């Protein structure tokens, strides 16, 4: 029980940090474009897939939270632009 609670807290912490950082960058860095976010998200996917040596549970949680945060920002950005595709495109 304690471990699951800790894992959820860690996920939430990482998600919130990445989400807020990306949102801040989107809103304050005019050079940061939607294609930059898509590229970053693709890099997160590659990192998640590069688990050939094994990874700790915390690293798995961190990777999932980063991907989810970036997907959320991308979906919101696409909605602002009127582009309702999947957040992976």
Q: From residue 28, how far is each of 12, 21, 33, 70 by CA, in Å? A: 24, 10, 11, 17
Name the residue ranges covered by the structural domains of the chain.
2-81
**N-term to C-term CA, the chain:** 37
Query: What is the residue-averaged pLDDT of the chain?
Result: 89
Q: Report, as an integer, the average pLDDT of 2-6.
A: 84
Contact 26, 37 (CB under 8 A): yes
Q: Report, as an integer, the average pLDDT of 17-29.
A: 98
Which tens digits make up the pLDDT trace of 28-47?
Answer: 999 999 999 999 999 999 98
Separation CA 22–CA 12 (nearest Å): 15
């Amino acid at each position: 029980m304690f471990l699951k609670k800790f894992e959820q807290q860690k996920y939430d912490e990482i998600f919130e940090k990445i989400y807020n950082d990306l949102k801040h960058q989107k809103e304050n860095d005019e050079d940061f474009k939607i294609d930059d976010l898509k590229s970053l998200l693709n890099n997160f996917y590659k990192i998640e897939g590069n688990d050939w040596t094994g990874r700790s549970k915390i690293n798995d949680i961190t990777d999932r939270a980063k991907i989810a945060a970036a997907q959320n920002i991308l979906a919101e950005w696409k909605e602002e632009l009127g582009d309702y595709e999947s957040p992976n495109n």
